[in-house]
Structure 1
Amino acid sequence: MRVFLIAGEASGDRLGAALMAGLHTLAGSVEFDGIGGPLMQAEGLTSLFPMDELSVMGIAEVLPRYRHLLKRMHQTAKAALASRADVMVTIDSPDFCLRVAREVKAAGGLRCVHYVAPSVWAWRPGRAAKMARAIDQVLALLPFEPPFMEAAGMRCDFVGHPVVAEPVASPHEVAQVRARHRVGDRPLLLALPGSRRGEVSRLTPAFGEVVARMTRARPELQVVVPAAGPVAGLVRDMTAQWRHPPVILDPNGIDPAAALAEKRAAFGAADVALAASGTVSLELAASGTPMVIAYDMNWISWQIMSRMALIDTVTLVNLVTDTRAVPEFLGPDFKPEAIAPALLALLDDAGAQHAAMALTMELLGRGQAEPGLRAARAVLEGLSG
């Protein structure tokens, strides 16, 4: 069996590697071609070119490299067709991957599978119909996504979210991180202002005001900020202006596995978290950490997004469980005077949210076969069906 894979960023590399391991388990001898990062290469892929070339986001970043990316798209499509693979699996990165899939589909009969369904349930539902012109099968991370893809004419298999396969901190690790940062039995707030410079710059001052309001009510409160490597310096500089400077977890300069373990332990140790919108809500849910989601953007972006949105919540815990257990303060509602009381209320009683987080993990596949194995089984069933 031969499989051509394309991943364009670190999250896709993780999904691809788990899928490749699952294919080895279920199909035995499998040969791989395509584009991937270090994890996929460790599973036997020789990347056509460095995956990092595709890891660009935003119009300002893409435009100077557009011609080069277009050349890489044509090169990748030709390589996929030349590989005579049984199936091509494109992983997330839709701007690149779906263009390649369209070119491949136009040239021949190669079966195309896309891993990670686009969020057509949230905005731009017409994307599903356009996608169906090139994609035969979709592997979905969320349990409510298959009907949207199937309605557009594609086979869609829910294969579980990778968060359910990630380790969580043990009680011993939680106790260690509390002792290391001298938290003791004091309440611990986790502040997560994002991983991109723009959102960190925009959110951190208001997060600081939230912390100030909370510490007036709970003077014993300890605050920890796990910073993403590229913005750790910025986080340190901006939180230094807070009335109560937090403990910064900076992953730079230390072993990546140790940094990840420290972050995981902090998630497990926190009594409550204030987080920017995004998949971090699922990481917190996996650790059983109650949360409030708060996010702001410029006025024009908010007006556009709020008018295009098909949903009334952006938090995956709320969407997966069809509840509104996680409070959100978005756009015009991003106000410290409203956010702080919501966090203080969770410190006193988070029972409803704990139940929603546990249900989220169950619905995303915790306790079932690992997502990589389920994804591999779905790909094989699609080929045989």
Structure 2
Amino acid sequence: VTLKMDTLLKEAKESIEAAQNYRSELQLRLHGLSQARTQVQGSSCQAREALRRHFLELQAAVTRLLSERLTTLLSEVDTIEAESVKPLDECQSLIEHGVSQADELLREGEAALHCVPGEDKLGTFNKKAMHIQLDSLPEVPALVDVPCVAAQVDNSLLVLLRDQVSRHGSIFSQPPVQIEELQERPGGIMVRWCKSCDSSPQVFHTCQFVHVTRSHHSSSLRWAQEFRHRDPSVYYIYFSNFQVQIFRYSPVLVLNLTTQWCPGTEGYVLSSRRNIALRHDSSQTKCQVLYSKAPTYYCGQTLTFKISAAGQMDRKDSLGVCVDNKKGEESLQRDQAVCVSSNGAVTVNGKEMTNHLPAITTGSSVTFDMEVVNLLPQSDGSGLKLRVTIGSGNREVVFDWLVDQATTDCLFFGCSFVHTGWKVLVF
């Protein structure tokens, strides 16, 4: 009996566990259905809004074009009318002047006929009549010789518009391109995609601007959207909470979103995108470290410093990464930082290594790669050992770097140059 009860109890527990798993799977599927419904309804709302906005703008543009064309045609009518009426007005003025002269001559003639005998008014009248040239009449143009303004319009434009409008715009149940790969990069993301349906040859594809942030308390990325000037005539791709505008086709694109130098550091001038730093006049400026705008370097990524221009070398020069952005430091050759000097020396936590890399010159590229090795116990908590690989030219230096666990979620990158003329691109 006991064995039978144990068997029944075991079967019951197994059934309960199976039911729990079954319920969990069903809940996951419900969540998946909810996401699918959200995608369908959300994309449909955005598609409707894009269509309404586009056609409203199109209507306004067509109305404006028709109004401009009407104004042009009315102006042409006004010009023809003015040019044609001018000679008619001149002829009318001439005829009206002749009528006035004839009226005056008639009054003088009537007065001469009734004058007192002996007055010479008849002779004066006859002389005046001879000078007026009563047998000369102005020529009035025939109706066939003057313009007859007419407006000619037809329905050809309407037919053309009806044909074009009936084929304007397309609706797809799937986006025209499909995201194949998202790969995290230093301060950015590499996006790889391919065409998933036939689209117009006039449609080009590219990625729209998007602002990306990362949580300091999670090893996974958290996306924050900030979209600008969305064009309703182009396509959009949606995946998770990340949106990409398709406008110019390129199968691979790197979104360099947060790899920027921090502005306001004395002694350095930044490009408009803040990814290029130039060490300018140092006569009145103390050498100091230029840090990244934020701690945007993470293990598993490749950070690259590209030297666009080189100045005079100094042993305090440095390119590298660090766990903090201490102000007032003259170099990254300090604790909790790894760096390369312009002469190729590699420094870890302020101590120079035996192995050197080639000296940094114009055109040099210095790369940093890091991966987590393991956790190590420390008196004040756990530490983390990172495997660091620094490459320059055709040489590499590999070493282990111990940092505090609390600071490894994100690292700053930085540079410092004593002399002017150094220009560094970071990506």
Q: TM-score, normalised by structure 2?
A: 0.20
Report which of the two has the higher share of strand. 2
Report which of the two has the higher share of helix. 1
Q: TM-score, normalised by structure 1?
A: 0.21
Q: Over alpha carbons, which structure has the higher Rg?
A: 2
Greater relative contact order (CA < 8 Å, ≥ 6 in sequence) = 1
